[in-house]
Structure 1
Amino acid sequence: MWKLPKGLEWLAALFLFLMLREWMLPLKELTDTGNLTHFYYIAAGVLLLDLVVRWRWLTFPIKVAAVLWLLYSQFFVTPFFDTEWIKEIYLRIMHDFPLILQQNWTEMSPISRNGLFYLLLVTLVSLLTYLVLEQRQGLWFVFLTELYLAILDTFMPYEADGAIIRTLAIGFLLLAVTHLNAMQKVASVAGKGQLTVWNSLIAPMLIISLTVGIAYAAPKKAASWPDPIAFLTGKETGAGTSYMKKVGYDNNDDRLGGPFIQDDTLVFIALTNEKTYWRGDSKDLYTGVGWQKGSREYEPILEPNQYQWGNILYRNMEMKQVTASLEFKGGEPFSTIFYPGQIKKLTHYTPQNATLVYDKQNQQLEVRDGKINLIQSQANQKQTITVPNTMLMKLYNYRLEAEVPVVSEKALTNAGTEYPEEIKKMYLQLPKNLPPRVRELAQSVTKDAATPYQKVRAVENFLRSSGQYKYETKDVPVPKQGQDFVDHFLFESFRGYCDHFSSSMAVMLRSVGIPTRWVKGFAPGTRTGDDGNGREIVEVRNKDAHSWVEVYFPGYGWIPFEATSSFISPVRVNYDLNTVEQQQPTAVPNLGQQNSPDRGDGRLDELEGEDGNTSRGFAIPWEVWAMIPVLLAAGSAIVWKRRRSLTVWWIHRQMSTQQDSRYAEKYKLLLRLFENVFTNRHQGETLREYVNRLTISGDKRQDLWYLTQLYERVHYGYKDMEEKAKTIANKMIEQLSQQLKP
Structure 2
Amino acid sequence: MIQRLQRKGPFALAAFIGLTAVLQQFLTVYHFEDKSTAVLVTGAVCLSLALLPKGWLRLSAVLLLFAFGVYRYFPLGQSVGLDWLAAIWRQLRPLINLVQSEGFGRTPSLLAFSLIMAALVLLSVLMIEYEHFLFSYLTMLAYLLILVVFNHLEPLLQIFLVAACGLFSYGLKQNRRRGLSHEGSYILVAVLLLFLMAGIAQYLPDTFLRDPLAKQTVAVRNYFNDVGLYNYIESIGVGSNTRTGFSEDDEALGGAMVDDDTLLFTAQQLRPHYWRVDSKDNYTGKGWQRQQSEESSVLLENRFTVQASDAPLLKYPQQQRINLEFMTRNTYLPLPYGNTTIGLVSGFLGFEYAQLNQRVDLILEEAEKQQVYLDTQEPDYSVDSLRGVLLELPPTESDYLQLPEELPKRIQSLAEQVTREQRTLYEKVTAVETYLSTSKDFRYSKVDAVAPLPDQDYVDQFLFETRVGYCDNFSSAMVVMLRTLGIPARWAKGFSQGEARPSFEEQKVYEIKNLNAHSWPEVYFAGYGWVPFEPTPSFINPDRPGTALAEEGTQTTQMTTDSSLTPQSSQTSETAESTSATTTESQQQPATSVGEKADSKENSNSSWGYKTVLLIAGGLAAVALIFLVWHRRLKFVLFVISKCSKQPFSTGYLYLLKEWEKLLSRQPSENLKEYGRRLTETYPQQTTKFIALTEDYEAHLYNKQQPLENSGSLLQTAAQELRQAQKATAEKQRSIRKNR
TM-score range, shorter chain: 0.3 to 0.5
Higher relative helix content = 2
TM-score by length of 2: 0.44
Structure whose CA Rg is larger:
1
